[in-house]
Amino acid sequence: MTQNTSIRLAQRPNGLPVADDWAQVAEPVPEPGANEFVVRISMISLDPAMRGWLDDRPSYLPPVGLGDVMRASAVGEIVASQHRRFPVGAWVEGAFGVQEFAVSNGRDVTLVDPSLGTPSMYLGLLGSTGLTAYFGLFTHGRPTAGDTVVVSGAAGAVGSTVGQLARISGCRVIGIAGGPDKCRYVVEELGFDHAIDYKSERVRPALATACPNGIDVYFDNVGGSILNAALSTLAMHARVVICGAISQYNAETPTPGPSNYMNLLVRRATMTGFLVFDHSAEYRVARQRLAAWKDDGLITAPETIVAGAVTDFPEALLRLFSGDNLGKLILDISGTKDGHQS
């Protein structure tokens, strides 16, 4: 009988997750019950939000329980099915967790449409990453052609997409990223107008220089001092979109909030938080547009794919926080456990 190895939360991390925070468990792969199917997982999405799910405090999703399989989006092929809508051989995306096989009843599972993109794109551009960029920018940032749009975490999965969507909307796009390689990448490969290297530049004066008319839309993935600097540079009626705060996720003590928030009043601006799940009714249209822009060469969807086993998850996750990945970070386990990559 085939074994399923899963990565489970052994204890709650303090700061960056360490090896001892995780446990691996091997169990037989169950048979699907009525209206269920079994997925052999090929690729696992690594997301900054994962860090928040490890803390025992109320949030938009319940914390991952101690002993539970780590929550993660993943794609894979259906290898056994008792479900009419999910046949064997179909590829699917869902919150299957950090494991080799998952049983699902199909709830919140998306069938991969090969005419739109590859399975891995259903974790990136066509998954919650790209959809987060799409709805965060368009629904909450509401850019108009000619606006100055600033995005932090610009070389990351969401930020790189936000900047490109703003560019094709006729906006002037400034990225904030760490290091010369990432800054060069977003300008030369992704078509941003300018990039600010927060590791070597003082962000506040750099933003003031790069945005002489102020920031119309600020899309924040990082929080902390960069958010505060952006708040100091708002244009009138600016929209600040709160998507994440990766600079804060591993903080061991509470970090100060954005002391410049009163500029929201001075500039009559709005700061909005959102979650992509609230827009699920519009996912289909958004995926079609994103895929079309990709096909037309208007959007690049960078991916950093780490090939390994499911047991490499704890180490791979840390690459999100060390800042050395470009675009979407994915753990590809298809080379192991008789999986295969599409």
Q: Is 141 in the site for a copy of itself (CB under 8 A)?
A: no
Work out how close the CB of 205 gets to a copy of itself at its nearest, in angstroms, rounded to a whole number.
15
DSSP 71: P
**Quick one: which segment of 2-10, 36-44, 55-63, 290-298 binds a copy of itself (CB under 8 A)?**
55-63
* Identified binder of a copy of itself from the candidate list 20, 28, 60, 209, rule CB under 8 A: 60
Smallest separation (angstroms) from a copy of itself to the CB of 16: 19
- The C-alpha torsion from 246 through 102 and 277 to 126, rounded to 10°, is 80
Q: How many residues does the chain have?
A: 342
d(CA 108, CA 94): 6
Total residues in contact with a copy of itself, by rule CB under 8 A: 33
Q: Of 13-21, 29-37, 72-80, 251-259, which part binds a copy of itself (CB under 8 A)?
A: 251-259
The binder of a copy of itself chosen from 45, 99, 120, 263 (CB under 8 A): 263
Cβ 337 to a copy of itself, closest distance in Å?
36
Q: Please identify, using beta-carbon distances, which residue of 57 and 340 lies nearer to a copy of itself.
A: 57
98 near a copy of itself, rule: CB under 8 A: no
Is position 272 an interface residue for a copy of itself (rule: CB under 8 A)?
Answer: yes
Looking at 89-97, 100-108, 113-121, 243-251, which segment touches a copy of itself (CB under 8 A)?
243-251
Q: 3-state DSSP call for residue 226?
A: helix
Told to check if 246 binds a copy of itself by CB under 8 A, we report no
211-230 residues in contact with a copy of itself (CB under 8 A) are 223, 228
CB atoms within 10 A of CB 158: 29
Which pair of tokens denotes residue 62? 């319940």
Please, which residue, 75 or 242, has the CB nearer to a copy of itself? 242
Q: Which two tokens stand for residue 263?
A: 């500029």
Nearer to a copy of itself, 209 or 255 (CB): 255
Q: Are strands 91-94 and 101-104 parallel, antiparallel or unpaired?
A: unpaired
- Tokens in use for 329? 């970070």
The residue within the footprint of a copy of itself, chosen from 14, 144, 200, 259 (CB under 8 A), is 259
List Cα–Cα distances, 34 to 79, 80, 82, 278, in angstroms.
15, 11, 5, 30
Q: Are 85 and 105 in contact (CB under 8 A)?
A: no
Q: Which two tokens stand for residue 37?
A: 């199917």
160/152 Cα distance (integer angstroms): 9
The one among 20, 56, 278, 295 contacting a copy of itself by CB under 8 A: 278
Strands 74-81 and 91-94: what pairing? antiparallel
Distance CA 156, CA 326 (A): 6
Task: Single out the segment in contact with a copy of itself by CB under 8 A; choices: 34-42, 103-111, 115-123, 248-256.
Answer: 248-256
Contact status: 209 vs a copy of itself (CB under 8 A)? no
Burial class (CB in 10 A: 0-12, 13-18, 19+), 19: exposed
Helix (H, G, I), strand (E, B) or coil at 101: strand
The residue (of 51 and 294) whose beta carbon lies closer to a copy of itself is 51
The Cα 245–Cα 267 span in angstroms is 23
> Interface with a copy of itself includes 255 (CB under 8 A)?
yes
Place of tokens 């977003």: 186
- Give SS3 for 220: strand
**Residue 238 CB, nearest distance to a copy of itself (Å)?**
10
Cα distance between the two ends of the chain: 24
**Which lies closer to a copy of itself via its Cβ, residue 274 or residue 321?**
274
Binds a copy of itself by CB under 8 A, chosen from 25, 66, 262, 292: 262
307 belongs to the binding site for a copy of itself (CB under 8 A): no
Interface residue list for a copy of itself (CB under 8 A): 58-60, 223, 228, 242-245, 248, 254-275, 278
